[in-house]
């Protein structure tokens, strides 16, 4: 038992007790915990702005806790916020991307690890993937981007609201950013238009061309690199994690907001109009407008209705 751990006297008996209960099951160490954190948690709890300042990418960070204080109480799994979150006793339940949540066996492993005194790794855990978790890949120049390059940004900065059980209850506008399929879904309208970042409301929101700017709880908003990564991913066809480009959802509805420029441009996006286009309250160049329209099969946007906002 390392000397620096608090409460070591009180917990000294627990491991023996557990060992007795569980036969020969070895006490878990951070070696057993790290792979679960890596697989299910560091997507969000890592990098420069983790939720509640809680990073879970190393034992030291985990022990540091969140801006609210420690998330584990040595020897006391029941009193540990981390366990309460894993079981849903504290809401929102973790991982926020669930269901699926952790299995009973995995949760029990965390409980035993906390009960047994938060044993550090006996040998260095395989940390390759944890070296820079959650961060956008640095060298993407010349790379064909796919969903795996942008997923962590959405997870860390967007899913706290845009998921089915987020901070605001139901997802704002019913828009879920918790998976590839929902990010690209266009049942009601498309927010991502594969091949055209400029026609994608998602991009207008992260750039601040459309208001309110996203993430809604910013600043900080996304930095230049993160925005560029998402723009390039969409312009390259919004590929799935396997690298397969998404088809253009011709005929899908879009609703875009931005500033009307000369020659019917919405910021940089050329708009198409026809005899059926309804223009309300005569929008002028320079006006902030809302456009409702349809995506044509060539990727352009045919305006059905446009009005100042």
- Site for ligand HEC, rule CB under 6 A: 40-41, 43-45, 51-52, 54, 56, 66, 68, 71, 81-82, 85, 92, 94-97, 102, 155, 157-162, 167-168, 172-173, 175, 177, 191, 201-202, 205-206, 212, 214-217, 222, 255
Neighbours of 240 (CB within 10 A): 15
Give the shortest CB-12-to-ligand HEC separation in angstroms. Answer: 26
* 237/195 Cα distance (integer angstroms): 4
Query: Measuring CA to CA, which residue among 5, 115, 95 is closest to residue 44?
Result: 95
> What distance separates the 2 farthest-apart alpha carbons in the chain?
81
Q: What's the min distance (Å) between Cβ of 85 and ligand HEC?
A: 4
Residue identified by tokens 């608090």 is: 6
Q: How many CB atoms lie within 10 A of CB 70?
A: 15
CB 250 within 8 A of CB 190: no
Distance of CA 226 to the CA centre of its chain: 13
Report CA dihedral (71, 74, 75, 77) to the nearest 10 degrees. 10
- On whether the CB atoms of residues 83 and 77 are closer than 8 A, the answer is yes
Q: Which is nearer to ligand HEC, 92 or 299 (CB)?
A: 92
**216 is written with which tokens?**
């809604």
Structural tokens at position 33:
């915990």
Q: Which is nearer to ligand HEC, 19 or 221 (CB)?
A: 221
Q: How far is the CB of 243 from ligand HEC (least distance, A)?
A: 22
Q: Smallest distance from the beta carbon of 138 to ligand HEC, in angstroms?
A: 19
Residue written as tokens 């055209």?
196
Q: Which is nearer to ligand HEC, 11 or 54 (CB)?
A: 54
Q: 216 or 264, CB closer to ligand HEC?
A: 216
Nearer to ligand HEC, 19 or 290 (CB): 290
Taking the complex as a whole, the smallest distance from the CB of residue 172 to ligand HEC amounts, in Å, to: 3
Question: 97 near 163, Cβ under 8 Å?
Answer: yes
The token pair at 75 is: 């020897």
- Shortest Cβ distance from residue 258 to ligand HEC (Å)? 12
User: How far apart are CB 9 and ligand HEC at their closest, in Å?
Assistant: 26
CB of 150 or CB of 260, closer to ligand HEC: 150
Closest to ligand HEC by CB, 222 vs 306, is 222
Tokens of 233: 């991913």
Contact 10, 94 (CB under 8 A): no
């Amino acid at each position: 038992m390392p000397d620096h751990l608090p409460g070591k006297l009180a917990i000294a008996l627990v491991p023996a007790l557990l060992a007795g209960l569980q036969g020969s099951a070895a006490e878990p160490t951070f070696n057993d915990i790290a792979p679960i954190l890596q697989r299910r948690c560091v997507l969000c709890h890592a990098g420069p702005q983790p939720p509640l300042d809680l990073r879970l990418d190393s034992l030291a960070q985990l022990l540091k806790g969140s801006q609210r204080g420690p998330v584990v109480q040595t020897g006391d799994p029941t009193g540990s916020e981390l366990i309460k979150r894993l079981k849903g006793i504290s809401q929102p339940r973790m991982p926020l991307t669930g269901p699926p949540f952790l299995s009973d066996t995995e949760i029990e492993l965390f409980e035993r690890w906390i009960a047994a005194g938060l044993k550090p790794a006996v040998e260095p855990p395989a940390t390759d993937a944890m070296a820079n978790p959650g961060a956008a890949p640095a060298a993407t120049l010349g790379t064909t981007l796919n969903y795996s390059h942008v997923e962590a940004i959405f997870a860390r900065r967007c899913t706290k609201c845009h998921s089915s059980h987020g901070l605001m209850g139901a997802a704002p506008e019913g828009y879920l950013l918790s998976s590839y399929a929902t990010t690209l879904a266009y049942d009601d309208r498309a927010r991502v238009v594969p091949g055209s970042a400029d026609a994608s409301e998602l991009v207008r929101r992260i750039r601040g061309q459309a208001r309110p700017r996203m993430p809604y709880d910013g600043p900080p908003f996304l930095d230049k690199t993160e925005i560029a990564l998402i723009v390039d991913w969409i312009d390259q066809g919004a590929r799935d994690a396997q690298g397969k480009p998404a088809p253009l959802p011709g005929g899908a509805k879009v609703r875009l907001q931005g500033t009307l420029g000369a020659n019917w441009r919405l910021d940089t996006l050329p708009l198409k109009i026809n005899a059926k286009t309804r223009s309300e309250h005569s929008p002028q160049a320079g006006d902030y407008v809302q456009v409702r329209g349809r995506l044509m099969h060539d990727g352009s946007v045919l305006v059905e209705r446009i009005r100042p906002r």
